Amino acid sequence: MSKRAFNFCAGPAALPEPVLQRAQAELLDWKGKGLSVMEMSHRSDEFVSIAETAERDLRDLLSIPANYKVLFLQGGASQQFAQIPLNLLPEGGKADYIDTGIWSKKAIDEARRYGGVNVAASAKPSDYFCIPAQREWQLSSGAAYVHYTPNETIGGLEFGWIPEVGEVPLVADMSSTILSRPLDVSRFGLIYAGAQKNIGPSGLVVVIVREDLLGKARGGCPTMLDYKVAADNGSMYNTPPTFAWYLAGLIFQWMKEQGGVEKMGEINERKQRKLYQAIDASALYNNPIAKADRSWMNVPFRLADERLDTPFLAGAEARGLLNLKGHRSVGGMRASIYNAVDEGAVDALLAYMAEFEKEHG
């Protein structure tokens, strides 16, 4: 095993070391073919097998129903902010959005370019420290869909529940929570997730869309952004991000070897619980998010004296604890503890936090 740092980056995030080692071993010669995955045709039998296996493993992990298409697309979640209304929001139509932080606000702003947007609920009155209760939501009549962000990566605010929206398709940006625990996909019309948290490297986005929502793209939708075109062509209307797709497939296999999303959920629950317990018991560190709405994947915390931020980060880096600086928009610290960040990394962070508090508290 190599000497690797503990990486708490929010994204691109840590990848499982066994996956990196396997990719390294196959980099020059994939299964005796004498070439890299990056060099083979996406139309070849070899790559089609890689793609089909990746989709099958993802379907197994999330128990995706047969009436859902799984798309492996270029770009990231931010492109989906436009692609979703182009496909699901008819001309002159409207959609409901829930505002819980920076990423949901970006989705709202982009959707407004294509049609009416009703912000049915907002966490702004609480300074984005708690999720608005569903009884307070003002959902529209005749909305094309309801969009929400289950986990706000920057603010660390997370839904612990799935909204009830009746027959209206529920659309979710699961970039930072997908595969972190079991999920009932059948509750959603569309799920999208940028890969660079729990799926793989950046440049790839996974879309899971119910089949009845395909074929509704507006006339001005570019062909490349039409979900039905992507589905009809097996996500290969053009050359896809082959290496990212291959790595995602390796991660799906690694997850199945770990025990699947059920086991990952158990591990992730322990990781976040011990980290929040230490923060709550501390006189130096604090987390402002309502306890019921705290993120499992992204744990922001502040030091009581901001002047300690710089020495804290320097000491962390010296101990191989990397990328703990909070997002520039909120400051403080943030530990992103995705699937590939094991309990040993969290324990090392907790030991350092205790040591730093003893010296500076």
Give average pLDDT by consecutive 10-residue segment, the chain, 361 residues. Answer: 85 97 96 95 96 98 98 95 98 97 98 97 97 97 97 97 97 98 98 97 97 96 97 96 97 98 98 98 97 98 96 97 93 96 97 97 75
Active site residue 173: yes
Report the domain count for the chain: 2
Torsion sign (Cα): 87, 91, 94, 98: positive
For residue 124, tell me if it sits in a domain. Answer: yes
Specify the 3-state DSSP secondary structure of 209.
strand
Cis amide leading into 18 (omega within 30): no
**Same domain, residue pair 189 and 330:** no
**Same domain, residue pair 356 and 215:** no
For residue 9, tell me if it sits in a domain. Answer: no
Which of 321, 336, 57, 322 minimizes the C-alpha distance to 198? Answer: 336
Question: Residue 328 has what pLDDT?
Answer: 85
Among the options 69, 96, 99, 103, which is catalytic? Answer: 103
Dihedral, 103, 51, 8, 77 alpha carbons, nearest 10: -10
For residue 6, tell me if it sits in a domain. Answer: no
Q: How many helices (H) and strands (E) does the chain have?
A: 9, 14
**Same domain, residue pair 263 and 253:** no
For residue 321, tell me if it sits in a domain. Answer: yes
**Same domain, residue pair 183 and 247:** yes
Among the options 96, 99, 173, 226, which is catalytic? Answer: 173
Question: Residue 2 has what pLDDT?
Answer: 56
The overall longest dimension of the chain from CA atoms, in Å, is: 63
Which CATH number do you get for residue 97?
3.40.640.10
Question: Residue 1 has what pLDDT?
Answer: 42
Token readout for 334 is 């943030």
For residue 13, tell me if it sits in a domain. Answer: no
- Give the whole-angstrom CA distance, residue 163 versus residue 89: 20
Do residues 287 and 299 lie in contact, with contact meaning Cβ atoms separated by under 8 Å?
yes
pTM (2 d.p.): 0.97
Q: Which residue segment(s) compose the domain that 354 sits in?
A: 259-360
Active site residue 256: no
Among the options 69, 197, 271, 325, which is catalytic? Answer: 197
**Same domain, residue pair 99 and 230:** yes
For residue 76, tell me if it sits in a domain. Answer: yes
Question: Residue 361 has what pLDDT?
Answer: 75
Which CATH number do you get for residue 289?
3.90.1150.10
Active site residue 60: no
**Same domain, residue pair 253 and 281:** no
- Final residue before a domain boundary, out of 229, 257, 285: 257
